[in-house]
Amino acid sequence: KAGVTQTPRYLIKTRGQQVTLSCSPISGHRSVSWYQQTPGQGLQFLFEYFSETQRNKGNFPGRFSGRQFSNSRSEMNVSTLELGDSALYLCASSRQDTDGYTFGSGTRLTVV
Amino acid sequence: GQNIDQPTEMTATEGAIVQINCTYQTSGFNGLFWYQQHAGEAPTFLSYNVLDGLEEKGRFSSFLSRSKGYSYLLLKELQMKDSASYLCAVTGGFKTIFGAGTRLFVKA
């Protein structure tokens, strides 16, 4: 079966711009979570969605937002990009909370 | 608050056994995951513990003590391909929080 698909794989943006990242979970997985991964901070939790509802969010500024559609696909948006937003953004899906995540390959965002 | 601690790096020899420890303090606990992440790749699921005790899965075993806020991942018969980062993650309240990971180097 198809895995978690994230697009695009790589992105270069300028400070002040905004960006939208997309994630298509495994078919049948209704939970989608987003993480930011940097060498210094590791995996930092951004938000979790289930059936179009955001059930929890991490400690990120309001510039980071997301949503989930009725087909479970999810998007995250970062507005007014800063250099510090350069990171690997990982999407993960699971069928239920007690299942392990399946991660996508990530979107590597570089802000210049 | 939430805090997950694990050693930054470990080195072990091919064929040996290594134990990677994880201690955690969280508000809300449903279970604990271990993931493996090779350099340049996404994390992959290894194990999930919700009850105290040892869960064995092939060469990998994971232990949990909820009262002590402690877990470990045991890797037996180490192979070179086991060189990777191992991430301890605690789930609860509709979020999973990851530790910084332990980089394991397996030498010949």
pLDDT in tens, B4-47: 999 999 999 999 999 999 999 988 899 999 999 999 899 999 99
- Cβ contact, residue pair B35, A100, below 8 Å: yes
Pairwise CA distance, residues B74 & B19, whole Å? 5
B45-96 pLDDT per residue, tens: 999 999 999 999 999 999 999 999 999 999 999 999 999 999 999 998 888 9
Select the residue of A43, A48, A98 nearest B31 (Cβ to Cβ).
A98
pLDDT band for B98, please (50, 70, 90 cuts). Answer: very high
HEC per residue, chain A: CCCCEEECCEEEECCCCCEEEEEECCCCCCEEEEEEEECCCEEEEEEEEECCEEEEECCCCCCEEEEECCCCCEEEEECCCCHHHCEEEEEEEECCCCCCCEECCCEEEEEC
Determine the pLDDT at residue B36: 97
Instruction: Report the alpha-carbon distance of residue A62 to residue A41 in Å, rounded.
Output: 19
pLDDT above 70 (res A7):
yes
% of chain A exceeding 90 in pLDDT: 89
8 A C-beta contact, residue B87 and residue B37: yes
Number of residues that make up chain B: 108
Whether A97 and B93 lie within 8 Å, measured CB to CB = no
pLDDT of the residue at B48: 95
**Residue A96: which pLDDT band, with cuts at 50, 70 and 90?**
confident
Q: Report the SS3 class of residue B72.
A: strand
Residue B97 to residue A42, Cβ atoms within 8 A: no
pLDDT of residue A1: 63
**Distance (Å) from the alpha carbon of A57 to chain B's nearest alpha carbon:** 8
Query: Can you give the pLDDT at residue B27?
Result: 82
CA dihedral (A26, A27, A31, A32) positive or negative: positive
Instruction: State yes or no: pLDDT of B101 exceeds 80.
Output: yes
